[in-house]
C-alpha cells in the first residue's frame, strides 16, 4: 500500500473517531504538494525548496476570532524504537515553513481552501501518534527540549502539536460523548459553549454549529451544551443542559470553587437544565469527589445560598470518564523503521 493511501486512510479514521465529534471538518484534498514561494526556504541539503507537502487539512470556525481556522496537518506515527528528538525538530521546521508559504501561495488556497471570500487563518498541526503506546512520555520529553526560538515560525503564525498523550485524551473524550449520545444521557444535537469573556467576545450566535477550537480542547475545561433527549413516544428522558469536561486533577477544593463560580457566572447552574462535571485527566485525584463536594458546600456558604439555589449547586455531580487508548497504525506513515 502506498504511503499516500495510508495517509488518506488514517486521516479519515482520525476524523471519524475524534475530530468529527468536535465538529471539525476534513477537507477532501489530501497528499497534494504546493509550490514554495520563498527563496529562504531550504531543504536538509541546503537547496531551495521547490514544493511543500500537504498531508491533510482540518478546519473549523472560531467564533471568537470570527474566521475559519485551517490546520495544515502533518500526520506522524512512531513506536518506541523510532522516536527521536531530531525527527520531531525536522517535522516542526518543515511544518513552520509550509505554513509561512501557505499564507502567500495561491496554490495552497486552490488546493485546500473550503470557502472562498471568507476570513481565514492557516496554522500548522503536527499530529503524532505512538502506536505501540510504549513511548508516550518520551515524546513529551523530546518536545520540551526543542527551543521554539530555533524554529522558523514566522511572526504572527502558529504551529500546534498534538502528541500521544493529547491524542489519547481527545480520543477518550470523543468516545465518552458518543457513548453518552447512545445512552441518551445527552442529545446528538450539541454544541460547544463560548461564553463572553473579558477580552474575547463571540462574533456569532451561540448555536449548535459551534465546534471546539484547538485552544478550547487543550484548556483546563470546556463545555458541551445539548438539547433535551426524548424517547420514541416523545417523552423527555433527559433535560437539556451542559457537560463540563474537566482537564485538571482535582487535587484541591479551591480549584472546584473557582470552577463552580465560573459556571454560575456563565448562568449554567439553574433548575431548568442539568449540568455534569466529567474529569478526563488520567491522573485525577482519588479525592476528586470529596474535594468537589466540599467545594460545593464552601461555595454555598460563601454566597449564603439556601433553598432552591443551594439545591442547584449541591445537585451538580462529578465523575471520571473511561480512559481509552487509540491505535493509529498507518502501516506506517511518517516515521518508519
Please list the residues that pair with 243 across neighbouring strands: 224, 276
Tell me the pLDDT tens digit for each residue of 260-293.
999 999 999 999 999 999 999 999 999 999 999 9
Exposed, middle or buried: residue 222 (CB in 10 Å: 0-12, 13-18, 19+)?
Answer: buried
Please list the residues that pair with 229 across neighbouring strands: 238
**Mean predicted confidence (pLDDT) in 98-119:** 91
Please list the residues that pair with 319 across neighbouring strands: 278
Tell me the pLDDT tens digit for each residue of 154-174.
999 999 999 999 999 999 999
- Characterize the bridge pairing of strands 229-230 and 236-238: antiparallel
Tell me the pLDDT tens digit for each residue of 168-206.
999 999 999 999 999 999 999 999 999 876 555 666 666
Report which of 178, 199, 33, 61 is spatially closest to residue 118, judged by C-alpha positions: 61
Decide: 96 and 152 in contact? Cβ < 8 Å. Answer: yes
Task: Determine the angle formed by the axes of helices 288-303 and 307-314, rounding to 10 degrees.
Answer: 160
**Residue spans per domain, the chain:** 3-162, 172-320
Tell me the pLDDT tens digit for each residue of 229-241.
999 999 999 999 9
Helices vs strands, H then E, count in the chain: 9, 14
pLDDT of residue 207: 65
Decide: 125 and 58 in contact? Cβ < 8 Å. Answer: yes
Tell me the pLDDT tens digit for each residue of 35-60.
999 989 998 888 999 999 988 899 99
* Cα gap 37→57, rounded to integer Å: 19
Q: Is 136 helix (H, G, I), strand (E, B) or coil?
A: helix
What is the number of other CB atoms lying within 10 angstroms of the CB of residue 120? 19
Tell me the pLDDT tens digit for each residue of 122-148.
999 999 988 777 778 889 999 999 999
Please list the residues that pair with 9 across neighbouring strands: none
Residue 93, C-alpha cell as written in the block: 521546521
Give the DSSP letter of residue 148.
Answer: G
* Cα gap 266→260, rounded to integer Å: 10
* Cα gap 168→164, rounded to integer Å: 6
Q: What value does the mean pLDDT of the chain take? A: 90
Q: Which residues contact 155 (CB under 8 A, 6 or more apart)?
A: none
Task: Determine the angle formed by the axes of helices 288-303 and 253-265, rounding to 10 degrees.
Answer: 50
pTM: 0.91
Q: Is 312 helix (H, G, I), strand (E, B) or coil?
A: helix
Rg (CA), the chain: 22
Amino acid at each position: 500500500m502506498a504511503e499516500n493511501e495510508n495517509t488518506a486512510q488514517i486521516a479519515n479514521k482520525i476524523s471519524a473517531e475524534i475530530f468529527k465529534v468536535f465538529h471539525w471538518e476534513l477537507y477532501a484534498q489530501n497528499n497534494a504538494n504546493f509550490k514554495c514561494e520563498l527563496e529562504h526556504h531550504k531543504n536538509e541539503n541546503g537547496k531551495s525548496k521547490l514544493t511543500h507537502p500537504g498531508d491533510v487539512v482540518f478546519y473549523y470556525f472560531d467564533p471568537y476570532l470570527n474566521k475559519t481556522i485551517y490546520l495544515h496537518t502533518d500526520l506522524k506515527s512512531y513506536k518506541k524504537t523510532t522516536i527521536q528528538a531530531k525527527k520531531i525538530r525536522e517535522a516542526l521546521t518543515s511544518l513552520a515553513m509550509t505554513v509561512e508559504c501557505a499564507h502567500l501561495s495561491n496554490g495552497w488556497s486552490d488546493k485546500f481552501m473550503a470557502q472562498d471570500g471568507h476570513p481565514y487563518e492557516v496554522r500548522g498541526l503536527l499530529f503524532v501518534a505512538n502506536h505501540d503506546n510504549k513511548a508516550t512520555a518520551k515524546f513529551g520529553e523530546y518536545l520540551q527540549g526543542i527551543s521554539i526560538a530555533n524554529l522558523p515560525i514566522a511572526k504572527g503564525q502558529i504551529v500546534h502539536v498534538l502528541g500521544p498523550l493529547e491524542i489519547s485524551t481527545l480520543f477518550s473524550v470523543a468516545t465518552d460523548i458518543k457513548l453518552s449520545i447512545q445512552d441518551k444521557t445527552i442529545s446528538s444535537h450539541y454544541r460547544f459553549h463560548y461564553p463572553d469573556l473579558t477580552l474575547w467576545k463571540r462574533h456569532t450566535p451561540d448555536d449548535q454549529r459551534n465546534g471546539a477550537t484547538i485552544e478550547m480542547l487543550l484548556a483546563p475545561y470546556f463545555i458541551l451544551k445539548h438539547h433535551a433527549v426524548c424517547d420514541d413516544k416523545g417523552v423527555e428522558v433527559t433535560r437539556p443542559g451542559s457537560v463540563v469536561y474537566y482537564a485538571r486533577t482535582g487535587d484541591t477544593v479551591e480549584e472546584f470553587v473557582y470552577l463552580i463560580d465560573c459556571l454560575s457566572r456563565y448562568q449554567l447552574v439553574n433548575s431548568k437544565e442539568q449540568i455534569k462535571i466529567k474529569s478526563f485527566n488520567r491522573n485525577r485525584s482519588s479525592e476528586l469527589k470529596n474535594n468537589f463536594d466540599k467545594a460545593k458546600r464552601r461555595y454555598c456558604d460563601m454566597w449564603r445560598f439556601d433553598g432552591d439555589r443551594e439545591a442547584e449547586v449541591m445537585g451538580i455531580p462529578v465523575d471520571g470518564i473511561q480512559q481509552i487508548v487509540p491505535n493509529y497504525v498507518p502501516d506506517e506513515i511518517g516515521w518508519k523503521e
